[in-house]
Structure 1
Amino acid sequence: MLQNWNVDKSKLEKQQKELKESMQFTYVGHGTKATGLFAKEFKRKPGLYARCTTCGYYMPLDARGEERCICGNLYRTEREFKHELPANEIEIFKGVKK
């Protein structure tokens, strides 16, 4: 959790609230297979969001840049999606603008 010591949680919570108000999320499934039938790792497809089951953070899988959820369990870099949770505990949602 030390990697997340300087994160402005109130700013992230506000951003997540705005995201939830502007998007409609549809549950796709749990784990890597929710992003592709034979996927062994999370596929970074447009419109898919990973949801941390610990803090409820929605993270776009295909976005550029680095991003970390509020509790630090999900982390996305330019090239890959990393997680501290078991893969089958990560929920995948399809996001569409309202």
Structure 2
Amino acid sequence: MQRKKLDKPRRKYDAEFKSDVLKMISSGRSVQDISHSLGINSNMIHKWKAQHHEVIGQKGSFPDVVSGTVSDTDHEQLKARIRELEQERDILKKALGIFSRGI
């Protein structure tokens, strides 16, 4: 008995979509979670991930993908921004406490 092929058009994904999926992975989401939410086979995502790791040293097909590395200057700038935001948060907490007391 022969199985009848489904006449389903093959989906094609552009480099931007692949880049977005790889950014999701680098942000900590699991491949299974991404594949279920986007309706993509997890093997396809693993394949894109492997291709990306091959391309990292070479300027290749995924130029927009974040490599996951942060330079020291960027790291220091990010730490300074975090300190600034924490100070703003603390000030707002104090102001909320003052205004919620009522006068």
Q: TM-score w.r.t. structure 1 length?
A: 0.24
Higher relative contact order (CA 8 A, sep 6+): 1
Structure ranking higher in helix proportion:
2
* Greater C-alpha radius of gyration: 2
Q: TM-score w.r.t. structure 2 length?
A: 0.23
Structure ranking higher in strand proportion:
1
